[in-house]
Structure 1
Amino acid sequence: MSKSVKRVTEAAQILGLNISIQTMPDSTRSAADAANACNCEVGQIVKSLIFKGENSNALKLVLLGGHHDLDLKKAKEIFGEPLTRADPKRVRSETGFAIGGVAPIGHLETPETWIDANLLNHKQVWAAAGTPNSVFSVDPEHLMRAINAQIFTNS
């Protein structure tokens, strides 16, 4: 088990999330690949995207449904400041995860976290578990409460 997957497992226990991490034979890096591997709808895939606030310079974790993209032109009205993609080296050093395997839990430094309201329409969603081919399923309401995520509407 990789250090990242172990950190996700430990974080889930601390947060009271009952998860089972699955290692897929192929990459689940894209939402379509993940949905195929997990045998679910693309909308049930949690994309864990890391952005940098242009004013605060703080990292922000945005949990987005797999069938959506984030409209960065609306970032200021949603998140209080414009956002840009975070530098991959900074993402790894502050979260402990490489882009493509960023989990919604188990970060070295917990970023401000937001969750797309569309994810809450599902009973179960699938998220990265620390590597490009590891995933776990979770009730999105439980995840949202466990990580104190703020809800936003991405339309």
Structure 2
Amino acid sequence: MGIEKARAHLKSWNRDHEILEYAASSATVELAARALDVEEARIAKSLTFKRGDQAVLIVTAGDVRIDNRKYKELFGSKAKMLRPDEVREMIGHEVGGVCPFGINEDVEVYLDTSLRRFDTVFPACGSSNSAIELSCTELEEIAGSRGWVEISRLI
């Protein structure tokens, strides 16, 4: 389900043929980095939050976490991650394959500046064993990002 939604979205950008699929799981940053043979920081992890009745998806580098103080300053509320059942319902993908492609229309997508230190990054593509390599500019455009935010800190 998720990969097909992501594939359809990427097809509209003529990028669906670039999806990388693996026999091994890439559901976590560590597993994805191992499957792709890249450093963990280059894995573009999608974190999902609930803000009121809305879902927010923030894509960060694999070696950072959300800084709660910065999140609250930007969004005006405490960072509250979605539960797995909420992720499926509010985002449109299962945990382990969450990505900014083929998501529900009302989801706000932001990119964290932690990604900008890389020429290319690897976001998932809707399943626990897929990814695509994109530049940050391509990710911003294809994901329909509302912009860049600086709300992370190194783990």
1:8: Cα distance to partner?
0.7
Structure 1: unaligned runs, 5 residues or longer:
none
**Structure 1 residues 87, 109: closer, same or farther in 2, change over 3 A?**
farther
Aligned to 2:40: 42
Contact 2:55–2:106 under 8 Å retained in 1:
no
Contact 1:17–1:142 under 8 Å retained in 2:
no
Q: Provide, for residues 43-85 of structure 1, a one-character-per-residue CA deviation record: whole Å limited to 9, x for no partner.
A: 11011111111xx231100101100111223311133322201
Contact 1:123–1:139 under 8 Å retained in 2:
yes
Structure 2: unaligned runs, 5 residues or longer:
none
For residues 69 and 122 of structure 1, what CA distance do their matches in structure 2 show?
17
Runs of 4 or more, structure 1, over 3 Å off, are none
TM-score (norm 2): 0.87
Aligned to 2:67: 71
Q: Which of 146, 149, 152 does residue 149 from structure 1 map onto?
A: 146
Aligned to 1:24: 22
1:26: Cα distance to partner?
1.3
* Paired letter, 1:126: F
* Paired letter, 1:33: L
Q: Which of 119, 126, 134 does residue 123 from structure 1 map onto?
A: 119
**Structure 1 residues 4, 115: closer, same or farther in 2, change over 3 A?**
same
TM-score (norm 1): 0.87
For residues 81 and 135 of structure 1, what CA distance do their matches in structure 2 show?
31
* Paired letter, 2:60: L
* Paired letter, 2:39: E
Contact 2:64–2:114 under 8 Å retained in 1:
no
Q: Provide, for residues 71-121 of structure 1, a one-character-per-residue CA deviation record: whole Å limited to 9, x for no partner.
A: 223311133322201122121122221111101111133411111112122
Aligned to 2:8: 10
SS in 2 for 1:83: coil
Count of aligned pairs between the two proteins: 150
For residues 124 and 21 of structure 2, what CA distance do their matches in structure 1 show?
10
Identity %: 26
SS in 1 for 2:100: coil
1:126: Cα distance to partner?
0.6
